[in-house]
């Protein structure tokens, strides 16, 4: 623990500036946090170890995908920046799961990697209230008995005073990369790592964990024989990530670049199994815990021995580069083996590897030490977002980044913080999972983690979150007016569909029979017709004479909400129950160890995590429904006793 005054006594230190908020790290979390703070009028500084790698995409050159696409839409709905950047830099776009129901539709786009970094840097450089600085932050400075944030210090002795700090250190803190037996003290992509900051956090009493992740090889396009590969083209008739772009008629690019896929061969499997002993993962050199969803190729062969082959995707890294990314081929085997592995793949026998695959190990903060606002429970004024909180993925990082940035701002502006709950968005599911359950591996968002997935759709993220973004101040008047107009149209069209009755006719019969549906004997509302299997809004056009042309997003919303009304109703009931517990706040001063009736395990867990409400308490592993019942009785007793004993909330 060190104060500004103490730091100034050291050699070569000086006050380099005074800011409201310091954001440390300029990846996808840091950029969102800095963008939100600056937009909300706070004097903000954003630090990066290497300006040319701002908003880097060090792994997959794509944004979105299942559940991640939903996250991008949600960040955009709140007023974030990732969706707009992704729209600008997309070189191939797709809507995954379009045949599997609207709740799981997920937008995904290949990015021009270097363009993304350049565009984001330029966007942020032009933002009012934001200073961008290349510097290596090594210490967090604090003041007072509560050790609240007062500044940060760089490796060159520059001290930046600030009232709040958002750390988004990604995989950089005390990072080590592994390429077979070769270990480097380095960040991703050969970038410098962060040294000292992790120690500084540990000194403040923050629990530090260590994880590992990895990335595959990149191959020169001209050395690849695509004729033996399966081609995968993009789709151009889908909405962009950004709702504002969508409302303004900006579409996804019409010219798109294909991706490719191949399968591993028997030779691949043989090369890997012959060299397993040289993998740092299996020889025990890597201590960090790796993710199950993103295993290295050797992991896949080891864990799924019955599976003879695995699919590998070959994806472009941009328009002005020949580099192709081999998705599914991450490894930490030595360089020499990687060469053999890649050449065992169809179409890649002559492949020229431009960058090797590697594994990386890094320090992070135990997310159980965080509040749902992403502020530390231990150091007031310190916020963390992204991989430092145990997540993985650009989208997960951006989602935490905007929440941390908004809440740092709300704290300094003395306004109500923003927390998104599990029924409002994947953002809420992500953060609640991290701060309530913690994580033992890099946490990836998945749609199956969401309980209310029929509500948490990519198409209605604006309905769910734009009012929140408006409240905190990230949505402009112009954008909000358009949003309200869209909502009005959805409402009117839904009402029209409910009250418009269609009489049985030859035309209706023909329309319905074309999808195997029976013509009703008496009049039926359009809404009821839409609930039938395979009956769509477009299909009903010939019998719905009064229909006015409406934007695609409005039609989609009306159609989906009506078609799934029955299922949504069940989910809504679940949400209401959920909200009831979520609204029961637990006072900060509760002494769980003194509550008789709670089981010992529950007392310990509750005391450690100190949940903010009964709902959160109920999701802690080791807390049973009976414990929750006891807790509710205790709460009531507490409320009645408080006025007598003069305890204040």
Q: Binding to other proteins (CB under 8 A): which residues in 546-575?
A: 563-564, 567, 570-571, 574
Q: Is 235 in the site for other proteins (CB under 8 A)?
A: no
Q: By C-alpha distance, which of 38, 25, 106, 111 is closest to 72?
A: 106
Cα distance between residue 524 and residue 528, in whole Å: 7
DSSP 391: B
Question: In the complex, what is the shortest distance from the CB of residue 462 to other proteins, in angstroms, rounded to a whole number?
Answer: 19
Question: Nearest distance from residue 605's CB to other proteins, in Å?
Answer: 14
Binds other proteins by CB under 8 A, chosen from 540, 595, 606, 609: 595
Residue 28: count of CB within 10 angstroms of its CB: 33
Of 580 and 589, CB closest to other proteins: 580
- Residue 9 binds other proteins, judged by CB under 8 A: no
Letter string b/e over residues 592-627, b meaning 16 or more CB atoms within 10 A of that residue's CB: beebeebeeebbebbeebbbbebbbbbebeebeeeb
Decide: 240 and 246 in contact? Cβ < 8 Å. yes
- Least Å distance between CB 570 and other proteins? 7
**Please, which residue, 115 or 574, has the CB nearer to other proteins?**
574
- Minimum CB distance to other proteins smaller for 474 or for 529: 529
Please select the residue that binds other proteins; options are 242, 330, 376, 500, rule is CB under 8 A. Answer: 330
Nearest one of 632, 610, 628, 211 to 436, comparing CA atoms: 610
Nearer to other proteins, 645 or 648 (CB): 645
Task: List the interface residues with other proteins, window 163-192 (CB under 8 A).
Answer: none
Q: For residues 228 and 637, which CB has a smaller minimum distance to other proteins in the complex?
A: 637
Least CB distance from residue 636 to other proteins, whole Å?
A: 5
438-467 residues in contact with other proteins (CB under 8 A) are 446-449, 451, 453-454
Rounded to an integer, what distance in angstroms lies between the CA atom of residue 119 and that of residue 139? 30
Estimate the crossing angle of helix 68-78 against helix 394-412, to 10 degrees.
30
Taking Cα atoms as reference points, which of 491, 440, 456, 459 lies closest to residue 291? 440
DSSP class of residue 262? E
In eight-state DSSP terms, residue 277 is G
Residue placing its CB nearer to other proteins in the complex, 488 or 577: 577
Q: How far is Cα 166 from Cα 384, in angstroms, rounded to an integer?
A: 5
For other proteins, which is the closer residue by CB, 104 or 502? 104
Q: Is 228 in the site for other proteins (CB under 8 A)?
A: no
Q: In the complex, what is the shortest distance from the CB of residue 618 to other proteins, in angstroms, rounded to a whole number?
A: 5
Among all chains, which residue has been given the structure tokens 């007062």?
150
Is 581 a binding residue for other proteins by CB under 8 A? The answer is yes
Closest distance between other proteins and the C-beta of residue 645, in Å?
A: 12
Instruction: Please give the size of the binding site for other proteins, defined by CB under 8 A.
Output: 74
User: Cβ-count burial of 320 within 10 angstroms (0-12 exposed, 13-18 middle, 19+ buried)?
Assistant: exposed
Nearer to other proteins, 28 or 108 (CB): 108
- Stretch of 21-29, 166-174, 187-195, 304-312 contacting other proteins, by CB under 8 A: 304-312
Closest distance of CB 573 from other proteins, Å: 8
Residue partners of 126: CB distance under 8 A and separation at least 6: none
Element (H, E) at 48: strand 44-48
For residue 115, the minimal CB distance to other proteins (Å) is: 21
Nearer to other proteins, 56 or 131 (CB): 56
User: Distance between the two ends of the chain, CA-based, in angstroms?
Assistant: 30
Write down the H helix ranges in 177-242. 197-203
Cα separation, 533 vs 517, in Å, equals: 8
DSSP H helical segments within 259-353, as ranges? 266-274, 280-283, 297-303, 335-343
Does residue 495 interact with other proteins by CB under 8 A? no
| Nearest approach, Cβ of residue 140 and other proteins (Å) | 32
Cβ distance 440 to 291 under 8 Å? no
Among 291, 334, 367, 401, binds other proteins (CB under 8 A): 291
Q: What residues numbered 603-632 form the site for other proteins, per CB under 8 A?
A: 618, 621, 624-626, 628-630, 632
Q: How far is CA 501 from CA 170, 509, 514, 531, in A?
A: 56, 15, 20, 14
Q: Mask 65-104, x = binds other proteins (CB under 8 A)? A: xxx----------------------------xx--xxxxx
Q: Using CB under 8 A, pick the residue from 40, 294, 372, 543 that binds other proteins.
A: 294
Q: Which of 374, 444, 399 is nearest to 74 (CA)?
A: 399
Q: Which of 278, 269, 359, 272 is nearest to 307 (CA)?
A: 269
**Binding characters for other proteins, 19-58, by CB under 8 A (x = yes):** ----------------------------------------
Identify which of residues 242 and 616 has a Cβ nearer to other proteins in the complex. Answer: 616
Q: Nearest-CA neighbor of 398 among 410, 382, 385?
A: 385
Stretches 17-25, 77-85, 115-123, 590-598: which one binds other proteins (CB under 8 A)?
590-598
- Distance separating alpha carbons of residues 569 and 541, to the nearest angstrom: 27
Q: With CB under 8 A as the contact rule, which of the stretches 9-17, 124-132, 299-307, 497-505 interacts with other proteins?
A: 299-307
Q: Under the criterion CB under 8 A, does residue 577 sit at the interface with other proteins?
A: yes
Residue closer to other proteins by CB (options 136, 584) is 584
Considering only 28, 73, 300, 486, the residue that binds other proteins (CB under 8 A) is: 300
Alpha-carbon gap, residue 264 to 310, rounded angstroms: 5
Considering the rule CB under 8 A, would residue 533 count as an interface residue with other proteins?
A: yes
Q: Contact between 596 and other proteins (CB under 8 A)?
A: yes
CB distance 365 to 306 below 8 Å? no
Q: Nearer Cβ to other proteins, position 556 or 634? A: 634
Piece in contact with other proteins (CB under 8 A), picked from 197-205, 323-331, 379-387, 465-473:
323-331
Residue number with CB closer to other proteins (44 or 618):
618
Residues with Cβ within 8 Å of residue 277, at least 6 apart in sequence = 283
Q: Is 505 in the site for other proteins (CB under 8 A)?
A: no
Tell the smallest beta-carbon distance from residue 448 to other proteins (Å).
Answer: 4
Minimal distance in Å, beta carbon 182 to other proteins? Answer: 22
User: Running DSSP on this structure, what letter comes out for residue 104?
Assistant: G
The mark string for 378-397 relative to other proteins (x by CB under 8 A, - otherwise) is --------------------
Helices and strands, number each (H, E), in the chain: 22, 23
Helix segments in 220-274, DSSP class H: 243-247, 266-274
List 53, 200, 327, 389, residue binding other proteins (CB under 8 A): 327
CA distance 326 to 305: 22
Q: CB-wise, 200 or 331, nearer to other proteins?
A: 331
Neighbours of 311 (CB within 10 A): 11
């Amino acid at each position: 623990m060190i104060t500004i005054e103490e730091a100034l006594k050291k050699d070569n230190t000086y006050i380099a500036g005074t800011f409201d908020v310091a954001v440390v790290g300029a990846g996808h979390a840091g950029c969102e946090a800095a963008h939100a703070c600056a937009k909300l009028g706070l004097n903000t500084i954003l630090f990066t170890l290497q300006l040319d790698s701002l908003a880097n995409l060090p792994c997959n050159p794509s944004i979105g995908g299942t559940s991640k696409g939903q996250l991008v839409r949600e960040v955009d709905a709140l007023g974030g920046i990732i969706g707009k950047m992704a729209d600008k830099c997309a070189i191939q776009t797709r809507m995954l799961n379009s045949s599997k129901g609207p709740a799981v539709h997920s937008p995904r786009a290949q990015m021009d990697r270097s363009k993304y970094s350049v565009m984001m840097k330029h966007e942020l450089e032009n933002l009012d209230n934001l200073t961008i600085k290349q510097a290596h932050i090594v210490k967090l400075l604090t003041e007072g008995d509560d050790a609240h944030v007062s500044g940060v210090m760089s490796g060159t002795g520059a001290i930046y005073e600030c009232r709040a700090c958002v750390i988004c250190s990604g995989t950089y803190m005390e990072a080590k990369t592994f390429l077979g037996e070769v270990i480097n003290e380095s960040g991703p992509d050969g970038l410098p790592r962060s040294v000292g900051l992790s120690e500084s956090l540990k000194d403040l009493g923050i629990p530090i964990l260590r994880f590992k992740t990895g990335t595959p090889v990149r191959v020169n396009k001209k050395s690849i024989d695509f004729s033996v590969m399966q081609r995968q083209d993009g789709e151009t008739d889908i909405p962009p990530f950004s709702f504002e772009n969508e409302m303004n008629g900006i579409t996804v690019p019409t010219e798109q670049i294909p991706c490719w896929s191949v399968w591993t061969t028997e030779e691949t499997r043989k090369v890997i199994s012959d060299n397993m002993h040289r993998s740092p993962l299996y020889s025990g050199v890597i201590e960090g815990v790796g993710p199950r969803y993103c295993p290295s190729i050797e992991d896949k062969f080891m864990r799924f021995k019955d599976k003879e082959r695995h699919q590998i995707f070959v994806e472009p890294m941009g328009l002005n580069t020949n580099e192709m990314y081999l998705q599914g081929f991450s490894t930490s085997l030595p360089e020499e083996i990687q060469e053999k592995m890649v050449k065992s793949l169809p179409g890649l026998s002559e492949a020229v590897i431009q960058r090797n695959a590697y594994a990386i190990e890094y320090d992070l903060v135990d997310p159980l030490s965080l509040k749902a606002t992403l502020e530390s429970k231990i150091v007031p004024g310190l916020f963390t977002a992204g991989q430092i909180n145990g997540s993985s993925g650009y989208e997960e990082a951006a989602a935490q980044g905007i929440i941390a940035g908004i809440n740092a701002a709300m704290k300094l502006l003395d306004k109500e913080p923003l927390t998104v709950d599990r029924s409002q968005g994947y953002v809420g599911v992500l953060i609640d999972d991290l701060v309530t359950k913690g994580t033992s591996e890099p946490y990836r968002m998945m749609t199956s983690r969401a309980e209310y997935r029929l509500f948490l759709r990519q198409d209605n993220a604006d309905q769910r979150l734009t009012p929140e973004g408006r409240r905190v101040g990230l949505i402009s008047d112009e954008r909000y007016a358009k949003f309200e107009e869209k909502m009005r149209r959805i409402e009117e069209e839904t009402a029209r569909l409910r009250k418009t009755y269609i009489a049985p006719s030859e035309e209706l019969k023909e329309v319905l029979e074309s999808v195997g549906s029976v013509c009703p004997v008496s009049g039926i509302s359009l809404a009821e017709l839409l609930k039938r299997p395979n009956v769509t809004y477009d299909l009903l056009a010939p019998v719905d004479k009064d229909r006015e042309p409406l934007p695609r997003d409005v039609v989609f919303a009306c159609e989906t909400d009506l078609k799934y009304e029955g299922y949504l109703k069940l989910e809504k009931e679940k949400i209401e129950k959920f909200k009831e517990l979520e609204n029961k706040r637990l006072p900060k001063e509760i002494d769980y160890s003194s509550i008789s009736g709670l089981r010992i395990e529950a007392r310990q867990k509750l005391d450690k995590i100190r949940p903010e409400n009964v709902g959160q308490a109920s999701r802690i592993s080791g807390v049973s429904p009976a414990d929750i019942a006891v807790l509710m009785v205790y709460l009531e007793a507490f409320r009645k006793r408080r006025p007598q004993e003069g305890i204040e909330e």
